[in-house]
Structure 1
Amino acid sequence: MTVLVPRMLSRLEDLLEWDGPATHLIRVEEQQQDGVYRIRAELPGMDAKDIKVSVDHGMLIIDAERSEEKKDNYRSEFRYGSLHRSAALPAGAEEQKIHASYDKGILEITVPVGEKKPSGRTIPIEAAK
């Protein structure tokens, strides 16, 4: 029973992050330290041109398309599919300064994080005359 619970929780986590039947999740590692939010994503065997990083309304989005085919005299083998992952950027993230690099199967994205700017405002109330 003690082994079953961690497996069930892991499976539940995968289901909650599931984006649909046509896509697969990208495994990531996230950290925020010294004013920088860093996310590293596993994308082995990909070309940088097949990876797209975008930001929309405070969400960092990683999309990748994989297609590979190998043929020899006796058989052929192929792999293909869409990969997707999104992550909420921390408060104060400077979206215009996001930097992404790809090396040896690892996509690394860095986002400078400044001070959290207050959101909202106080509305003055006029007294009736």
Structure 2
Amino acid sequence: MSSMLERLPGWPDLFGWVETGLPGAHVAPGLHGIRIEEHLGDGTYVVRAELPGVDPDKDVEITVDDGLLTLRAERTEQTTEKHRTEFRYGTLARAVRLPAGAKGDEAAAEYKDGVLTITVPVPEARTGTRAIPVRHA
């Protein structure tokens, strides 16, 4: 499934490889990917991230730098006795390239029921073609 969002040529979701693994490479121990959903519509780019079991006030960091939205979270393991776990603990990270024209400095985030939703305003693209007249010198 390809992303609905326009990406720059040569700029796939490189940080998505943290989740799936780059062929022939290994992810750093303790670093895990974050599963996301993303969509663009009605002048807004929205990223939803699965982050159950984290405190958004102290364990989540969201930054925007040069058109790159980066999300980092920390989930600490509870010290209860268990026989088996599939939970991921440690540092969780994901980064996505924002759509062209996105206003990263106006991004907002909300956390509810284990899902972090980040919204970024994106101006509507102008449609139509404008003819440029050539002046004679």
| TM-score when normalising by structure 2 | 0.65
Equivalent pairs, count:
103
Amino acid at match of 2:103: E
**Residue number in structure 2 paired with 1:24:** 32
**Residue number in structure 1 paired with 2:129:** none
Question: Aligned to 1:62, which of 52, 71, 75?
Answer: 71
| Runs of 4+ off more than 6 Å | 76-79
Distance 2:115 2:33 in 1: 15
How much is the aligned-residue C-alpha RMSD, in angstroms? 2.9
Amino acid at match of 1:84: A
**Residue number in structure 2 paired with 1:127:** none
**Residue number in structure 1 paired with 2:116:** 107
Paired residue secondary structure (2:105)? helix
Amino acid at match of 1:85: R
Give the gaps of 5 or more residues in structure 1. Answer: 1-10, 117-129
Paired residue secondary structure (2:32)? strand
Higher mean C-alpha displacement, 94-103 vs 18-27: 18-27
Residue by residue, what CA displacement relative to the aligned partner does 1:3-32 show, whole Å, maximum 9, x if unpaired?
Answer: xxxxxxxx9x81249883131000000000
Deviation at 1:68, TM superposition (A): 2.6
* Structure 1 or 2: more strand by fraction: 1
Change in CA separation of 1:115 and 1:33 when aligned onto 2, cut-off 3 Å? closer
* Structure 1 or 2: more helix by fraction: 1
| TM-score when normalising by structure 1 | 0.69
**Residue number in structure 2 paired with 1:15:** 21
Distance 2:71 2:63 in 1: 7
Distance 1:19 1:108 in 2: 29
Higher CA-based Rg: 1
Amino acid at match of 1:39: V
User: Percent same amino acid at aligned positions?
Assistant: 46
Change in CA separation of 1:68 and 1:37 when aligned onto 2, cut-off 3 Å? same
